[in-house]
Structure formats: C-alpha cells, structure tokens
Amino acid sequence: METARNNLRVDGARLWSTLMETAAFGATPAGGINRLTLSPADGRVRDWFRAACEAAGLTVGTDSLGTQFALRPGRDSTRPPVATGSHLDTQPTGGRFDGILGTLAGLEVVRTLNDAGIETEAPILLVNWTNEEGSRYAPATMASAAHVGTFTAEDILARTDADGVSVGQALASLGIVATEPTGSRAIGAFVELHIEQGPILEAEAKTVGVVEGGQGILWFDGTITGFESHAGTTPMPRRRDAVLGLAELALAVERIALAHGPSAVGTLGEAVIGAPSRNVVPGRVRFTLDIRDPRAATLDAIEADVRAALADIAARRQLTATLDLVWRQEPVPFDPALVALVEREAEALGLAHRRMVSGASHDACNLALKVPTAMIFVPCKDGISHNEAESATPSDCTAGADVLLQTLLTLANRPALPLRD
C-alpha cells in the first residue's frame, strides 16, 4: 500500500482540462473570468461542480450561506473528514486559477483515488466556499468565517451589495436551498492549494510554497467631505476639494506603509465621487482602505498613523473625514505539524520548495482558528493575480495537486487526526 501510495500521481492533463472547462463560466474577452459570487455565472459553475462531484461518487450538501460540501466516505465514518478546497467565485476581472485551482485540484485528487481504487480511513471532504473574494459582498472569506463562528449566518445573509441585494436574496435568486446549517459540518483538518498571487516562487525558481500562515488585514470604509463649488469661479486657495484630500491620503498611506517595513502594504482600492460633474469641485468622496502586515502590533501602528494623517489633511484643507473599520483579520499561524507534513511531501516528490507567509487572505486563514490547517502555493506568472492576465503552468498546477494528494492521503490514513479542543 505504501509503495502504491508513493507512486500515485494525479492526472495533470485531466486537471488542466477541467480548469479550462470551468473557465467558460463567466469568461471575458481578454481571457479571464468575471464570476462574482452568487451571480448567474457563479450559479452555473456551482451546478457544474455539483454534477462533477456526484459523478465522482461524492455526496453533496449545501449550508445556509451556499457553501458546497462534497463528501467521499472513508472506512471509519466516525472520524471527522480531512478537508480540502477553496472557492470558484472571482474578481470582476479575475483569472482562471485564483481559488479555482484549489477547488478543482481537490476534485482531481478524488478522481485519482477513485481510478486507483484507494479507500482512506477517514472521509475526504471537498469544499467550495461562498464569497471568498469579497468583491461583491464584504467581508472577504465570509462563509468560512461564519463556519468557524466569527460571524453568524444571519449577519452574513443580511449583507448587501452595491445594488442593495442581500446575500439571502442572491441565494434565493439562484434557487440555492440549504441542506444543513452553517457551521454544522465537521472538519478534522484542512489543506488548501492556491496560486501564490505574488512573485517570490517564480523569482526563486521554486515549484511549491509551504505556507506557514497568513498576514493580518484591516479593511476600512471612509468618506472625505468638503464643499461643492463652481470649477471655473472658485479660486484654488478657497477650495474645499474632497478629491485633493483623498489624493493626499493616498500618498500618506504609501509613505506610512513604507516606513513600517518591507512587509507592510496599504491600498486605496475604491474611490467614488458623490454627484460627479466635470465643472464642479468635488464635495464628497467615498473610499476603501486595505492595510496588511504579518504583525498585529504593526497593523495597530499603521492604523494610528493613517488616522493621524487623515485628521491633519482634513484640518488643513477644511474638510471632514471618517474612517470606519469594517473588518479585522488577525495574523494567523498554520498548524506546525501540518506545515511540516506539506514540506515533507514536497521533498519526497523532489519538488523545489520554500516556506513563506501568505500576503493574501484565504479561507484557510479562517479554518486555522478551529482546526489544523496548512496551505500549498504554486507559482503564477509574474506574480499577477486578480487580473485577467493571471496565469500558471500545467506542470506547476500538477505538482501542487500531487503534493495535495500525498498530504491528504497521509492525513486520512493516520491512526488519529491532531484535533484541537
């Protein structure tokens, strides 16, 4: 059995074909995917996923937030399943691999085990988490966060998008009916495969990233309010221009992030002018701010510096400003034993690898709060993600899926999983 396990590999051509097949759901002319969570395109790929899982012999359930759970039985049904998966939703100009690779690689692992006639002691669970991206609904990774109790399902169901459509309404519009409450599905351990979404692995010619944890994240909604006035008759010194205030803030965020070290980043990702007109000095602008760092104390320090900078800008320019924290995710370490297992499996497969911290948030970061968790990264071209140009090679995707396969087999056949209290 051990020799057969060591020789077992996924079908890389089948995995790649599956990736390309699902890329048709929400495909964009530029070669990417626009598949916002709970959109019609997301509904179509969910239907495809259910049918593919059922064809592979899995039993599929859906929780109250639309997360799909596909279970492959084990010899011992009393053991909590070893879980893998990611997400199938994308950014408005997303790529074909972000999240999708991890979900479909999990499906390929199941197909490989089926082809080889291999049973595992513990069941294996494949998960498609709802709204990982956070591009339609905030916060990101909200379904996995609700699964571990960070939010209630009722809270998430009431969240609305920019058009005022709630999560609950979007689920109903797709005909998604829950078969189980959020948080009721047992998970013994969780391993997620993902593209790196950064340039390190490619630059160092490494095939596998062994992820030790995820950095902390702060999300803010803000407003800057000045005074609307005529663009032709209002002298520059008398203007209370909200956009100029935002421009100063953007440069301040850059300066502050650089001052706090190489790992700190800050991004003003959205800016919306209230009642815009080409010949009116902008009187109000809404914006979002994203701050990240692996150290909680640094997050606190950056927030304090940004708030001080915004107050100074507002005072000098006779503006008023608000900055509201809408989400905080603390830096999350992954399970050391599980991280070491991923590293050993990569070594056994002869794959060049390195340890690293994830700069992006993932559903695994939420699962790590409750169960032993690890992540596997593979390179993406030029480190590009959240972009239609996002790309990965078939060989790297296959290598990552092979590490996932071996890791899941080891976990599912252990005498006992390292469960936490």
Residues of each annotated binding site for Zn(2+): 87, 98, 133, 194, 386
Q: Tell me the three state secondary structure of residue 328.
A: strand
Residue type at 64?
Answer: S
Of the candidates 382, 375, 328, 337, which has an alpha carbon nearest to the alpha carbon of residue 356? 375
CA 211 to chain CA mean position, Å: 14
CA 61 to chain CA mean position, Å: 21
φ, ψ dihedrals at 271, nearest 5°? -150, 125
φ, ψ dihedrals at 20, nearest 5°? -70, -35
Question: Which residues fall in the annotated binding site?
Answer: 87, 98, 133, 194, 386
Quote the Cα angle for 177-180-185, to 5°.
135
Cis omega (within 30 of 0) for bond into 276: no
- Distance CA(20)–CA(2), nearest Å, equals 33
Residue 332: which residues within 8 A CB-CB, separation 6 or more?
A: 213, 214, 216, 365, 368, 369
Give me Rg for the CA atoms of the chain: 23
Quote the Cα angle for 168-170-176, to 5°.
80
Q: Where are the alpha helices (DSSP H) in 66-179?
A: 100-116, 142-147, 153-158, 167-173
